[in-house]
Amino acid sequence: MKVATGSSPGPASVAPRYLESVLLAAAVGVLGALANLAFRALISGFSWFFRGAEWHLLGIQLGSPRALLIVGVLASGGLCLLLLDRFFPGDVMGYGFPAFLEMVNLGNAQLKRRWILVKALGAALSLGCGASVGREGPIAQIAGAIGSAVAQLRRLSVDRAKVLIAAGAAAGIATTFNAPIGGLMFAQEIVLLGHGELANLTLLVVSTTAGVLASQALAGNAAIFPTLPFVFRSYWEMATYAALGVALGFLSAGYIRFFYAVSDFFERLKPARPVKLLGGLALVGLLAAALPLELSDGYPVIDRALNGAFGFKELALLCVGKFVSSAISLGCGAPGGVFGPIFFIGTMAGGSFQRLCAGALPGLTGPRGSYALVGLGAFLAGVTSAPLTALFLLFEMTRSYEVALPAMIATVAALVVARALEPETIDSYGLARAGKPLGLGREGFLLSRMPVESVMRRQVATVFDGASLSVVLAAAGQTSQTVLAVVNPENRLTGIIAVRDLIGLLASAPELGPLVNAYDLCWRDCPVVGPEADLNEANQLLDIAGLGELPVVNNPTERKLLGMVAQIDISGVLNRLSLSLTTLAPADKDVFWASDYRLMRLRVPSAADAKTLRQLDPRARYGVSVLAFQDAAHPDKGFSPLAPDLPLKTGDLIVAAGRPADLRRFVRELEGIEPAGEANHGTS
């Protein structure tokens, strides 16, 4: 739903602003490329220290008992990470990309500027000591933080800031793989969740182009994975690639669930974070003693597999090893991303699948490298729901048109199977469980927190189901509604009549006037909502039905008419909510709208310290919706969604909406007072 927030600027004001956006996108692209080169240098430096100098000092020899000392190398890296976390708590540990997406799509698109350094140091330490993580998520966050810093410097709106963050992330990924279109698709599909206007897409093109040109000028044009030519032997292989896609779809869904099961396991452990981190890295080290190729992101190993190295047993072991080690590494708190492990697992799974097919159909199966390449893309699509990103990365890696059809078949098959088994992606799974569905976007998320009764019009024009056409026309002429509710004498909804349909009826068959009544004219199986339904659900029903208003009934069985909810009122509420969370909430003002609802800022008192939204349950107990909160320890982050199980702290700010009496009762609950009275209160 597009919501107007003001008058449209004229051409004279649009042109300079768009030119500014283009220049800023180009600048962010170049800065993202420079950040990526610096990040690579950090990874190389820490890799030399931990897996070069320290390995040599400890005398680690693979295939001997001294290989167990890899555990010590990973532990030393873990200690460095804990020291970094002590200086920058909350910004270093774990898989941070979902939080990045939450800030961009559900929050105010203001990232911490220190992420530019902290994320780079954390991920480089993690990769350097050998944790089984990826570098792609961190570089997207680093370059995205650069875009956010530029947006904050220029005091851009939330929407324009989102585009610059996406532009930075696009440049970071594009320069990592020397793949400008792949980086562009990454930003569009994963960072912006497929939403975005054509003008914004142009800015992403500018950013990735500027970033790749800068990177190539400084570091050359070498491909990160130089592959053998793609070989497609027979059209019968289409069936083989489709089967590969199906198998990787099952593997994708399994990886997402296993990844979060391991994360939940570490979360439930009672020991403190240092014990969890060092214990998890010790497990990764023990696995690496047997499978040393699992260490770090494994780019050189991926390169060898894409060029046909390894037999079936090696490929299968490497696939399973990375499947486990990456989940443990990120689950225990080591910083990094999942793209590297995804590439590794997909590559090894594709190569393993080829060895099986070659045994059954030796004359009709292409080489290992070709199946490993397609496996990389198909597994990426299945885990992230980003098929275009996967396809364009493959195309830019091979620069071969022959890869197109096999890759498309395998990618689509993997995506369909994976989403049928697990609707969420690896980035949205945890957020969805925390009550923060990324698919809704910022607008949908805000509307999902508000009930229909907050904007429901109780005084609406209705006609009885036995009313004649002339009575219906008279009622339509006396109201501004676009929909008339048709009710029986007990005020139960019979159906609705759209005013536009009346005009069509009069124009096409005026002689039917004396022969029909309201019951004949109405849409009897029309969509309805209850007063407790959220505004996002009502808005979707209005869009699907193409209506301006929707009847609100007490329940689907009795269908007693309570009022109507109009799309124009939903738009007004959304405007007020968006404005409140950006300007009015910090100013300590209340905002009123229809049905005596208001938006209020509340400071968490000491009596509510450590309580969660799930424990307070304000929606069910008081009819109050908590829309957002601001962490007292990090006021620079602005307002963001509040997870149901996140403990509140004394001094946190929350933005709540409801009727004044309900808000007063909720405040008394927060203050630890029995909510029996209706005494006045003050907000901070």
pLDDT in tens, 265-301: 999 988 888 999 999 999 999 999 999 999 999 999 9
Listing DSSP states for 84-102 in one string gives: HHHHSTTSSSS--HHHHHH
User: Do residues 518 and 497 touch, judged by C-beta distance below 8 A?
Assistant: yes
Residue 320 has pLDDT above 60, yes or no: yes
Task: Give 85-125 pLDDT, tens digit per residue.
Answer: 999 988 899 999 998 998 888 777 888 899 999 999 999 99
Helix (H) or strand (E) holding 662: helix 660-670
Three-state secondary-structure class, residue 533: coil
Task: Give 534-577 pLDDT, tens digit per residue.
Answer: 888 888 888 888 888 999 999 888 999 999 999 888 887 777 66
Structure tokens at 684: 């901070």
Residue 675 has pLDDT above 50, yes or no: no
Distance between CA 347 and CA 230 in Å, rounded?
Answer: 14
- For the chain, the structural domain boundaries read 13-219, 237-274+284-438, 452-566, 585-670
DSSP for residue 67? G
Structure tokens at 625: 């919706």
| Weakest mean pLDDT among 471-475, 556-560, 629-633, 649-653 | 629-633
pLDDT given at position 637? 62
Q: Which CATH architecture has domain 13-219?
A: Orthogonal Bundle (1.10)
More confident residue, 611 or 420: 420
- The beta-strand segments (E) located in 69-189 are none
157: Cβ contacts below 8 Å, ≥ 6 apart: none
Structure tokens at 87: 């200086």
Distance between CA 254 and CA 256 in Å, rounded?
Answer: 6
State the pLDDT confidence band at 668, using cuts at 50, 70 and 90: confident
Distance between CA 145 and CA 111 in Å, rounded?
Answer: 6
At residue 265, what is the residue type? F
Three-state secondary-structure class, residue 483: strand
Prediction pTM value: 0.77
Residue 585 has pLDDT above 50, yes or no: no
Number of CB atoms found within 10 A of residue 276's CB: 19
| C-alpha distance from residue 389 to each of 101, 285, 415 (Å) | 17, 32, 12
Listing DSSP states for 382-435 in one string gives: HHHS-HHHHHHHHHHHH--GGGHHHHHHHHHHHHHHHHHH-SS-TTTHHHHHTT
User: Do residues 496 and 481 touch, judged by C-beta distance below 8 A?
Assistant: no
Task: Give 143-172 pLDDT, tens digit per residue.
Answer: 999 999 999 999 888 888 999 999 999 999
Fold classified for 452-566: CBS-domain (3.10.580)
- Give the number of C-alpha atoms closer than 13 A to the C-alpha of residue 544, restricted to the C-beta side: 10
Residue 135 has pLDDT above 70, yes or no: yes
The superfamily CATH assigns to domain 585-670 is: Regulator of K+ conductance, C-terminal domain (3.30.70.1450)
User: Is the domain 237-274+284-438 a CATH 3.90.650.10 member?
Assistant: no
Q: Which of 98, 677, 93 is nearest to 330 (CA)?
A: 93
Same fold, 452-566 and 585-670: no
User: Do residues 325 and 317 touch, judged by C-beta distance below 8 A?
Assistant: no
Phi, psi for 285 (deg, rounded to 5): -65, -40
Given the DSSP bridges, would you call strands 653-658 and 625-630 parallel, antiparallel or unpaired?
antiparallel
| 590 alpha-carbon distance from chain centroid | 30
pLDDT-above-70 percentage for the chain: 88
Task: Give 226-241 pLDDT, tens digit per residue.
Answer: 777 787 777 788 999 9
> Which residues does residue 551 pair with via DSSP β-bridges, in sequence order?
564
Distance between CA 109 and CA 164 in Å, rounded?
Answer: 10
SS (H, E, C) 10-60: CHHHHHHHHHHHHHHHHHHHHHHHHHHHHHHHHHHHHHHHHHHHHHHHHCC
Distance between CA 612 and CA 646 in Å, rounded?
Answer: 6
